[in-house]
Amino acid sequence: MKSIVRNILLPAAIAIFIAAVLFGALPLPGIQAIGIVTHPNDIFAEIYQTASPSVVAISVAAEEGAGGGSGFVIDRDGHIVTNAHVVDEADEIVVEFLEGAIVRAKLVGSDLSSDLAVLKVDVPADQLQPIAFANSDQLTVGQTVLAIGSPFRQGWTLTSGIISAVDRTIQGLTEFSIGGVIQTDASINPGNSGGPLINLDGEVIGVNSQIISAARSSAGVGFAIPSNLTQRVAESLIQTGEMTYSYLGISGFDVNISAIESLELPNDFRGVVIREVVDDGPSADAGLREITRMLNLDDKIVGMRADIITAVDGTPIKGMDDLITYLARHTAPQQEVTLSILRDGERELEIAIELGSR
């Protein structure tokens, strides 16, 4: 009889307890009751209402046809940031604001290396709503982000996601790569280019620029130029009309299994193997060496001589992404930096190099 009563009462008690937890009468053990939490959609709506007046839709006309993208206002002087590829070779640039104003814009400057450009519109200051920048050096993977833009010409569209990765490297519009790039799964499509990627404080953390997709539509892998680089480029374009970058004068690749085995390195060793040193460049002048592979008769690598960059100014470098990002964030032409080099897997060197300019 007792077992029958227990079999009836115990499940009922558990059900009552679960119901009490779900409806807020009881907190879960070890968890404090926190009251009503604002739904994320409410937060997104508030951010959109605040940020969307800063975002513009951009239409361009060129000899090869028409196109467009997005952008955002950065000051009350009428400066607007967008992607260089949105306005590249445009004969006419037209900007539309959320409240309906449509004006012509002129190109202040374009930087193909970072795929960024600055436009200027002649609009009264009190009709402009600049958006603030966040510090992109403080971003974390998993952080919630929002994108506002005009995908497929559908203006002022809001999408959400997270930061999928930081410090990615993507190809710019030149032979040089862009470092420190933000990867996100927020939906980004053609037309979003140049629009802002925003944090939950309503601040710009990046400029939406590229996607990886065979279908040219969102596949959950989008990239944004980081806000710190964006500010640096925008300021330079406004002041001088151009942007200059430091130049090391090498090509390289991440330490791989061949380098580890040939140079008898620890299997967790990281750095940049110098593949090529450009003649008469800063690295050549400083005496850095290109990789030399020793092959047997079957063309298999049996030995290697190589300079490996392990740090810049004491900051560890795990691979090319780290090296490109460090140079973009922290250096300028004619600045002297100190490279930590492991030569031939044996000698540790500290080599001072005066950086050149691209």
Which pLDDT tens digit goes with each residue over 38-85? 566 689 999 999 999 999 999 999 888 889 999 999 999 999 999 999
Fold of 246-357: Pdz3 Domain (2.30.42)
Q: pTM of the prediction?
A: 0.81
State yes or no: pLDDT of 5 exceeds 70.
no
Query: Residue 296 has what pLDDT?
Result: 77
Domain residue spans in the chain?
A: 1-37, 53-127, 136-240, 246-357
Question: Pick the residue with more confidence: 25 or 149?
Answer: 149
CATH architecture of 53-127: Beta Barrel (2.40)
- Rounded distance, CA 291 to CA 272, Å? 11
Query: Residue 38 has what pLDDT?
Result: 54
Which pLDDT tens digit goes with each residue over 317-343? 999 999 998 998 899 999 999 999 999
- Mean pLDDT value across the chain: 88
Query: Residue 221 has what pLDDT?
Result: 93
Residue by residue, DSSP assigns 239-277 as: HHS----EE--EEEEE--HHHHHHTT--TT---EEEEEE
Q: Which class for 236: exposed (0-12), middle (13-18), buried (19 or more C-beta within 10 A)?
A: middle
Query: Residue 126 has what pLDDT?
Result: 94
Please identify every residue annotated as catalytic: 85, 115, 193
Which pLDDT tens digit goes with each residue over 227-273? 999 999 999 999 999 999 999 999 999 999 989 999 999 999 999 99
The superfamily in CATH containing domain 136-240 is Trypsin-like serine proteases (2.40.10.10)
First to last CA, the chain: 88
Same fold? 136-240, 246-357: no
Q: What is the mean pLDDT of residues 180-203?
A: 95
Query: Residue 42 has what pLDDT?
Result: 86
Question: Pick the residue with more confidence: 10 or 317?
Answer: 317
